């Protein structure tokens, strides 16, 4: 009863309109074309980026669309020219890819692949611009090439990381976006030395993953900065020992942190998307050696303003995308770090819902409740 080469009918949660609850529909999923694979999704989770594009406030709206990009599943079939993946492989689809062939993929320093870099405006597949999803012959758009809120999805093989089949997909699915982004921002970009102090701005999933990176790197002090005091309780599980709520102080946060740390933190990682927090995260690092890393996605019209003297005084500002990880090359290794018990994944998972109740995951995110909600397909 092979489904290879055939259309698969399955359930998908379709966003018909911006900001309206997703609707469970029966969709048709076409077979994978050249360089594509079709994946049976087993677990997916909700990330803030899905919510931004579903709300479509600052973004170009594209509907009807199937969202979802943090997920784990099993390859069902492969298209022409796919040589590194086979049916049965356990995989994580990833919102940004690695073609293996461009200047970025050849560079040790970059993960910004020319061909498969994240593109939130595209609603079809790169091969032919068409969608692989339809209802009664009408196309439903893809989202960042992954569209994991569907029991089956089609993804470019350059956006698929093959992982250890023993890794529990209901846990490691979150490695495919938020967790790796924050973790890599600290481990690959901020690179704190043992015993150094690290400030984390924004204690959502990405910021807490950055804190997890600081813990793994042996940071001496991890200072959490957030406007939402509810976040502080959760953050204790992540080794965040000191908290600063900018609302509790009359002085600028930079000054509060400088006073706490004898002149500034050694490293800071910004995971908020607020341009004020980005400036604060830069200005609170110590002169002479401090490094600040920006991760949050700013609004369209934001501008970063600081006095150039802050740079002359030997502070460094960096930014990163997906924690500088190359998705196919590096992500299987992050899963191994979890399997070797170096990386703790369970503490990020605060809620679980069956696929039929996916809208609850949106409610939790909108209320700022919990960290990650796992959505179980087929339930
Ligand atoms: P989240 O909403 O769960 O967490 C953000 C936290 O920042 C919240 O707790 C909020 O209270 C706090 N915050 C907001 N403004 C603040 C301010 N001025 N000062 C201090 N705290 C403030 O979001 P998340 O899922 O953790 O994502 C964080 C950011 O990372 C988002 O902007 C997201 O788009 C971005 N992101 C970037 C990448 C990348 O590759 N660069 C990948 C994924 C997500
Ligand atoms: Zn490339």
List the pLDDT tens digit at each of the 379 positions of the chain.
689 999 999 999 999 999 999 999 999 999 999 999 999 999 999 998 899 899 988 777 899 999 999 999 999 999 999 999 999 999 999 999 999 999 999 999 999 999 999 999 999 999 999 999 999 999 999 999 999 999 999 999 999 999 999 999 999 999 999 999 999 999 999 999 999 999 999 999 999 999 999 999 999 999 999 999 989 998 999 999 899 999 999 999 999 999 999 999 999 999 999 999 999 999 999 999 999 999 998 887 899 999 999 999 999 999 999 999 999 999 999 999 999 999 999 999 999 999 999 999 999 999 988 899 999 998 6
The pairs formed by 340-348 with CB atoms below 8 angstroms and a separation of 24 or more are 342/216, 343/183, 343/212, 343/216, 344/212, 345/171, 345/172, 345/174, 345/175, 345/179, 346/171, 347/237, 347/238, 347/371, 348/174, 348/178, 348/179, 348/205, 348/208, 348/209, 348/372
Q: Write down the pLDDT at residue 379.
A: 67
pLDDT of residue 79: 98
**Residue to mutate (ligand 1; options 206, 240, 292; most atoms within 8 A of CB):** 206
Q: What are the chain's domains?
A: 8-176+345-376 (3.90.180.10), 182-320 (3.40.50.720)
Evaluated on CA atoms 205, 207, 210, 215, the torsion sign reads negative
pLDDT reported for residue 130: 97
Give the closest residue (by CA) to ligand 1 atom 25. Answer: 48
Compute the distance from residue 81 Cα to the ligand 2 centre, in Å: 16
Distances (CA, A) of 370 to 64, 138, 208, 352: 28, 37, 12, 11
**Ligand 1, atom nearest to 225 Cα:** 20
Which atom number of ligand 1 is nearest to the Cα of residue 273?
Answer: 32
Strand partners of residue 268 = 199, 292
Residue 371 pLDDT:
93
pLDDT at 1: 64
3-state secondary structure of 114: coil
For helices 358-367 and 48-55, angle between their N-to-C axes, nearest 10 degrees: 90
Q: Where are the beta strands (DSSP E) in 79-137?
A: 90-93, 133-135
In the three-class reduction of DSSP (H, G, I as helix; E, B as strand; rest coil), residue 126 is classed as coil
Q: Annotated active-site positions, please?
A: 47-49, 69-70, 99, 102, 105, 113, 117, 177, 372
> How many Å apart are CA 374 and CA 105, to the nearest integer?
31
Ligand 1: does its nearest atom lie under 6 Å from the Cβ of 254?
A: no
**With the C-alpha atoms ordered 116, 274, 50, 225, is the resulting torsion angle positive or negative?**
positive
Q: How far apart are the first and last CA of the chain?
A: 23
Closest Cα to atom 31, ligand 1: which residue?
296
Element (H, E) at 270: strand 267-270
Q: Is 299 in the pocket of ligand 1 (CB under 6 A)?
A: no
pLDDT, residue 63, reads: 97
Q: Is the CB of 290 under 6 A from ligand 1?
A: no
Alpha carbon of 121 to ligand 2 centroid (Å): 19
Cβ atoms 266, 285 nearer than 8 A: yes
Residues 6 or more apart in contact with residue 257 via CB below 8 angstroms: 199, 223, 225, 244, 264, 265, 284
> What is the spatial distance between Cα 29 and Cα 94, in angstroms, rounded to a whole number?
19
Burial of 332 (0-12, 13-18, 19+ CB in 10 A): middle
Atom nearest to 205 CA in ligand 1: 26
At residue 368, the pLDDT reads 86
State which of 55, 232, 234, 271 you would mutate to test the pocket of ligand 1, scoring each by most atoms of that ligand within 8 A of its C-beta.
271
């Amino acid at each position: 009863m092979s489904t290879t080469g055939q259309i698969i009918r399955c359930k998908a949660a379709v966003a018909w309109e911006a900001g309206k609850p997703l609707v469970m529909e029966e969709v048709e999923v076409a077979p994978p074309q050249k360089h594509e694979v079709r994946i049976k999704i087993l677990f997916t989770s909700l990330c803030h980026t899905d919510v931004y594009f579903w709300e479509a406030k600052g973004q170009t709206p594209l509907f009807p669309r199937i969202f979802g990009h943090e997920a784990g599943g099993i390859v069902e079939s492969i298209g022409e020219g796919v040589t590194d993946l086979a049916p049965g492989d356990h995989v994580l689809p990833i919102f940004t890819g690695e073609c293996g062939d461009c200047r970025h993929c050849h560079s040790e320093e970059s993960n910004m692949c020319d061909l498969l870099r994240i593109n939130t405006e595209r609603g079809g597949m790169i091969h032919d611009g068409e969608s692989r999803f339809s209802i009664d012959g009408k196309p439903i758009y893809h989202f960042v090439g992954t569209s994991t809120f569907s029991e089956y999805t089609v993804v470019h093989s350059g956006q698929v990381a093959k992982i250890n089949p023993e890794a529990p997909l209901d846990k490691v699915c979150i490695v495919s976006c938020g967790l790796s982004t924050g973790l890599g921002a600290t481990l690959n970009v901020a690179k704190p030395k043992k015993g150094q102090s690290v400030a984390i701005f924004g204690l959502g999933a990405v910021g807490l993953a950055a804190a997890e990176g600081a813990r793994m790197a042996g940071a001496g002090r991890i200072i959490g900065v957030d406007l939402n005091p509810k976040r502080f309780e959760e953050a204790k599980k992540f080794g965040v020992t000191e908290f600063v709520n900018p609302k509790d102080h009359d002085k600028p946060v930079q000054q509060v942190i400088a006073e706490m740390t004898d002149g500034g933190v050694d490293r800071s990682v910004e995971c908020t998307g607020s341009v004020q927090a980005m400036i604060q995260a830069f200005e609170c690092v110590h002169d002479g050696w401090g490094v600040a890393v920006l991760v949050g996605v700013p609004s369209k019209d934001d501008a970063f303003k600081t006095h150039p003297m802050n740079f002359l005084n030997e502070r460094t500002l960096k930014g990163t995308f997906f924690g500088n990880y190359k998705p196919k090359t590096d992500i299987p290794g992050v899963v191994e770090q979890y399997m070797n018990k170096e990386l703790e994944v369970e503490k990020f998972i605060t809620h679980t819902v069956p696929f039929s109740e996916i809208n609850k995951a949106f409610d939790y995110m909108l209320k700022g409740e919990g960290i990650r909600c796992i959505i179980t397909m087929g339930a």
